[in-house]
Amino acid sequence: MPRNLDLAAIRSFVTVADVGGVTRAAGYLNLTQSAVSMQIKRLEESLGLQLFLRAARKLALSAEGEQLLSYGRRMLALNDEVLSRFASTACCGAIRLGVPHDVVYPVIPGILRRMAQAYPMVQVNLVSSFTVLMKEDFARGEFDVILTTEEHPDPGAEVLGARPLVWVGAPGGNAWQRRPLRLGFKDTCIFRPRAQAALDAAGIAWDLATGGESEQAVEATVAADLAISARMTGSIPEGTEIIAGDNQLPALGEMKLALYTATRRKDEAVDLLLSELRCGYGC
């Protein structure tokens, strides 16, 4: 008799691999941590394989787990496509999502992938922009969902959490020690006035090393140790790091992550997107 793989267990396995842990996967799947662990265990027993290497309290895929991950993703994609295609209430159309550029990674790519698997007939159109501009466009009805980073979200926003704002610079750099302190920010960066005000209050002279709206120019300048900037923890640009000597720089406080949802579209696809954003940025 042929054996059948448990797709629920496969989904738990793929989700754990994608998000990097059982606890976060449980939040995405709306299951308890023990339920996810049990599904992984049953899957390993049914295959007679060890799918994860459990060392130093971290989960890493075994060689067999890497192979199964590719198969698992294809199985789930086909399963979800069939269900969406033949369900009488299948969702379709486009969802316009706005996310600030500095918090797109590492969460959004995984969300987009899982949305495409669950609702292949729905297009999630991602726009990366500034919080102020996205809120203006949202008020004009140009977005279905926006995620914002701001100090004081509007009363209608759903606050997902808060993250510290930290100084960042080149690895091993000393730009943060020079005076006047050179700053790298885009002209419309929401963190810029907060950083400048903190430096003014601390009596630290500063000037701007960058201008315009190129994030690549800012990140290149900071990575070259010619300036420092500010970012939310969890969203540190590649080629930079949190400044270890920030006890000599003023604290920047924290910024809130907020969710704004339009009322014109309410369906399962939007519900899943909101759930993914809550887990990705609030868990």
Contact, 77 vs 119, CB < 8 A?
Answer: no
Query: Average pLDDT of 199-208?
Result: 96
CA distance 216 to 234: 18
Distances (CA, A) of 83 to 91, 121, 150, 207, 268: 11, 11, 39, 57, 13
How many other C-beta atoms can be found within 10 angstroms of the C-beta atom of residue 277?
22
- Over the stretch 42-78, which tens digit does the pLDDT of each residue have? 999 999 999 998 765 678 899 999 999 999 999 998 8
Is the pLDDT confidence value at 20 over 50?
yes
Query: Average pLDDT of 23-32?
Result: 84
Q: Give the per-residue pLDDT at 88.
A: 47
Place of tokens 């309290």: 57
Confidence grade of residue 282 (pLDDT, cut at 50, 70, 90): confident
Give percent above pLDDT 70 in the chain: 95
Q: Give the per-residue pLDDT at 223.
A: 96
- Over the stretch 210-257, which tens digit does the pLDDT of each residue have? 988 888 899 999 999 999 999 999 889 889 999 986 568 999 999 999
Q: Give the per-residue pLDDT at 145.
A: 97
Q: Give the per-residue pLDDT at 59.
A: 81
CA atoms within 13 A on the CB side of 98: 24
Total residues belonging to the chain:
283
Q: Give the per-residue pLDDT at 44.
A: 94
Q: Give the per-residue pLDDT at 182.
A: 97
Residue with the larger pLDDT of the pair 262 and 27: 262
Going along the chain from its start, the domains and CATH numbers come out as: 7-86 (1.10.10.10), 94-283 (3.40.190.290)
> Of 3, 175, 197, 79, nearest to 183 (Cα)?
175
- C-alpha angle 47-48-52 in degrees, rounded to nearest 5: 90
User: Which amino acid is it at 279?
Assistant: C
Task: Please give the distance of CA 216 from its chain centroid, rounded to a whole number.
Answer: 19
Q: Give the per-residue pLDDT at 283.
A: 60
